[in-house]
Amino acid sequence: MGDRYNIFSQMEHLQSKYVGTGHSDTTKWEWMTNQHRDTLASYLGHHDLLTYIAIAENESKARVRFNLLDKMFQPCGPPPDRPNVD
């Protein structure tokens, strides 16, 4: 029983420390937004990937970086309406 409690407390700690790990109340939109932002951040962080994308799109690296940063604002569109819980 103590082992099970320890695992759950470790999961809660990870979920509070890292936003992208999700939790039981994470919506599909939040999860997809985290995935897209992680992917875009990876593209920005790896110079070779950024260069590859710039060559493929026939754009400058600065323009590709700007476009990727712009996509990070709302990568999956605006959040869906939540039902009122009264």
pLDDT in tens, 30-84: 889 989 999 999 999 999 999 999 999 999 999 999 999 999 998 888 888 877 7
For residues 20 and 32, what is the distance between their CA atoms, to the nearest angstrom? 10
Query: Please, which residues have CB within 8 angstroms of residue 66's CB and are 6 or more apart in sequence?
Result: none
If DSSP states are collapsed to H, E and C, what string results for 50-83?
HHHHHHHHCCCHHHHHHHHHHHCCCCCCCCCCCC
- Phi-psi category of 22—alpha, beta or left, where left has phi over 0 and alpha has psi -120 to 50? left
**Mean pLDDT over residues 7-26, rounded?**
73
- pTM for the structure as a whole: 0.72
- Using the predicted structure, report yes or no on whether residue 1 has a pLDDT greater than 60: no
